[in-house]
Amino acid sequence: MAPPTAPPLAPPARLGDNLLPALVLGVIGFVVVAIGAGFFAKGRISALYGQAAQATTTAIPAARTVIRERAASRSDVAAVVTRVQINETSSDNVYQQMVSYTRGTMEMSALVAEALGADSSEVAATRRAAETAEVGTDTVHQQKAVYLEGMMHLLALAARSAGVPRGDVESMLARVRTNDVGTDTVHQQSANYCNGCLRFAEMIARRRSAPVAEVSVVMADAELADVRADTVHQQVVGRLTALTRMLAIVAESRGASSASVSAVLGDMQTADIAADTVFQQEVGRLSATLKLLALVATAG
């Protein structure tokens, strides 16, 4: 709305006219203009303050991320890896191996979340929720799904701590919950959680100014793999493949060397050649995910 304008000036007074009415009108006109300008300026300032407040709200998480980011203790990372190795040794089949690795990736995701600035108590509560849910499971497949869901929630914390707007994080979690309602099997749940993990890793990569083209290619390949998958297990493998590639991008943005990242991806490809089943492929990807999360947590 345009600011009020002064009324048209009266014709110049002739000599001998009474000057008082003209002076009164002039003063009134000046006051009207001043008040109108004042309200207009106040509206503009309020708008600017609103924009500044909004910008500050958006900028604060990123600023805190820079301040609060740290590298996870290598001893903490080694402890997670050691537990996975011990559990894998005692596994009787590939499904138990998957459970061992998914629990390991969840624990490593907790270290990633804290390294990116998440509150330790919130991270611990998220882990406890997954561990409590695991107690009520009846099969290894349910155990795996519980740990994948736990990893997803921890990566959501990591994304929020990295500066991703809370609304974007909550929107993605809501989408995962909606998809969960429509699942018929625990395997579909696992595929859903893998997709959630991928989406949060993508958010972190974009927030850390990773090369846009690289991130976009990974997501496009993930969608293509989804279309080509004939079974839910192939969907899981496709999404985990994309997750490893996205975590590789995040790891390099955190300071990991290209050689370290390439070595992990190379080991995964080698394991893939020796794999006889889609489940062994899944184990190979979970192993790579664990190592890449470790690189992210320790900043290389």
CA 87, chain centre distance (Å): 30
What's the mean pLDDT in 249-261? Answer: 97
What are the domain boundaries of the chain? Answer: 18-68, 72-298
Q: How many CB atoms lie within 10 A of CB 122?
A: 15
Per residue in 175-218, pLDDT tens?
999 999 999 999 999 999 999 999 999 999 999 999 999 999 99
* Residue 14 scores a pLDDT above 60: no
The pLDDT, as a whole number, for residue 2 is 45
The pLDDT, as a whole number, for residue 139 is 97
Lowest-confidence region among 8-22, 37-51, 186-200, 216-230: 37-51
* Residue 3 scores a pLDDT above 80: no
Residue pair 91/277 in contact by the 8 Å Cβ criterion: no
* Residue 49 scores a pLDDT above 90: no
* Residue 63 scores a pLDDT above 50: no
Dihedral sign, Cα of residue 292, residue 110, residue 169, residue 136: positive
The pLDDT, as a whole number, for residue 68 is 73
Residue 97: pLDDT band by 50, 70, 90 thresholds? Answer: very high
Task: Kindly give the residue spans of alpha helices, DSSP state H, lying in 69-139.
Answer: 74-89, 94-115, 120-135
Per residue in 141-152, pLDDT tens?
999 999 999 999
Euclidean distance between the first and the last CA atom of the chain, given in angstroms as a whole number: 56
Q: How far is 280 from 204, CA to CA, in rounded Å? A: 28
What's the mean pLDDT in 154-174? Answer: 97
Two structure tokens written together for 74? 């290598």
The DSSP element (H or E) to which 287 belongs, if any, is helix 278-298
